[in-house]
A and B are shown apart, each in its own frame.
Chain A
Amino acid sequence: MNDIDLVAGLRAGVPEPASARLAAGRARLTAAIGAGNTRVTTRSPGIRPVSGRLRAATWRAQPEAVVATGLVWRRRRLAGLLVAGAAAVTAAILAVSGVIGPAPGRSTATVRTVAFTLVSHANDTATLTINPGVLVEPGTLQSDLAQDGIAAKVTVGSFCSSDPALPDLLRVVSLPTGGNRSTITINPAAMPAGAELSFGEFQLSSGTQQAAIELIDADSYTCSSSLPTAPPPGSETFDLFGS
């Protein structure tokens, strides 16, 4: 008898469900397949998908106003803090009016800050729009992503990566096809178990800003304060803002 056997004995009396219950589940599955609707409608009272949680829109003043371009996410240089601040306000206003980050399908919740807008969709994906003029607050973005079921490691001034990087980044992150290259859609259901989305932003001495994104193994990664100058082996990168 070892410790695994002991754990195996915990709740060992829980049985497989009754056949009627399984049959009901089967009928539910076949009905959804037949109808082409593969989204679960929650039936248990009081239980709702995390992304379905309604959250109040938030507005946080962000002291850091910066300018951006980057290796992966490249941002146009702006003249200075004043211009960047104005851009932030403009971006926020656009976000409020729905110009930035058009939502694919019905939106269920939106978090809006000066640095980013995060929209949760009914299909369990989320759209993240980064404000080119303001560095994100790592804890805020990381926490808001987690609320949408997206395990992420958000950093500013450093970048975390696994060696090799996990594949499938482009299955998790969908790039926009339109002109607005600061918006991405994230599908947490496509993330491999144990994976996290690493998102790092850097303020460059040139006054520009760089951001990189990668799928990492939450159990095995390292963080570096140096700028990633080339895509890590095995990672997939893309340029959101153009050169």
Chain B
Amino acid sequence: MTTPHDDETDAAVISRSRCEPEAFALLYDRHAGAIHRYVSRRLGDALADDVVAECFLAAFGRRDHYDLSRTDARPWLYGIAARVIGKHRRSEVRLLRALARTGSDPAAEDHADRVDSRVTASAVHRQLAAVLAGLPDRDREVLLLIAWADLSYAEVAEALAIPVGTVRSRLSRARRRTRAALAGQDLTFLAEELYT
């Protein structure tokens, strides 16, 4: 089923919502699922509803400042989500450390019946969680926006309001730390262990 507004760009929806506030819900329809999943991966399922709600309400409150030349609102929304997630960074690090220490992932437990029975993570999960927990917040932010939100370098730069060069340098640091933690291991083998 299609609606008259399906072809509207995100920017057009935001522009329209300045006069018709309820139109903003269309932006939620388009992006809330992906952002909810991203938040769940970072903070766990229990926090996700509130964080996503706060993110979209904050976005609604700032829609007058949105740069309408940006047709895709995903970077903007992820940038707002990043700020909201930042308020819970202690929770995020605590979950990652729990995973690294025990092999049990509280962020995935709620989905255990849908994912598979391996709530107890592999050694690779644990190593990666330890690396992520140890990264500076800003480096982890960049790495996860790229790896989990599928944003490009330019989109991450837009989301975080930083130059692309800064995105590259933060990502480079994060990747260096990741590689150092996995040094000497066969990445293909690790990937098989991770994805199977």
Contacts and interface: CB of A to CB of B under 8 A. Distances in A.
A56 interface: no
Contacts of A218: 138
Interface of B: 21-22, 24-25, 28-29, 32-34, 36-37, 40-41, 45-50, 52-54, 56-58, 60-61, 79, 82-83, 86-87, 105, 107-108, 111, 114-116, 124-125, 128-129, 132, 138, 141, 143-144, 146-148, 159-162, 166, 169-170, 175, 178-179, 182, 187-188, 190-191, 194-195
- Most A CB atoms within 10 A — which of B48, B53, B108, B138? B53
- Most B CB atoms within 10 A — which of A5, A14, A38, A220? A14
Contacts of B47: 44, 47
Contact of B179 (A3, A11, A13, A22): A3
B148 A8 contact: yes
Contacts of A189: 58, 83
B161 A10 contact: no
Given A4-B175, A29-B28, A193-B159, A13 B116 contact: yes
Interface of A: 1-17, 21-22, 24-26, 28-30, 32-34, 38-40, 42-44, 47, 49-50, 149, 166, 189, 191-195, 217-220
Contact of B40 (A14, A40, A194, A195): A14
Contacts of B36: 16-17, 21-22, 25
A192 B170 CA distance: 16
A17 B22 CA distance: 22
Contacts of B160: 192-194
A1 to B, nearest CB: 4
A3 B175 contact: yes
Contacts of A14: 37, 40-41, 45, 107-108, 111, 115
Given A7-B132, A194-B166, 6 more contacts: A4-B175, A8-B148, A14-B111, A22-B33, A25-B52, A194-B160
Contact of A32 (B41, B57, B82, B147): B57
A43 B47 CA distance: 9
A193 B83 CA distance: 6
A13 B84 CA distance: 23
B166 A217 contact: yes
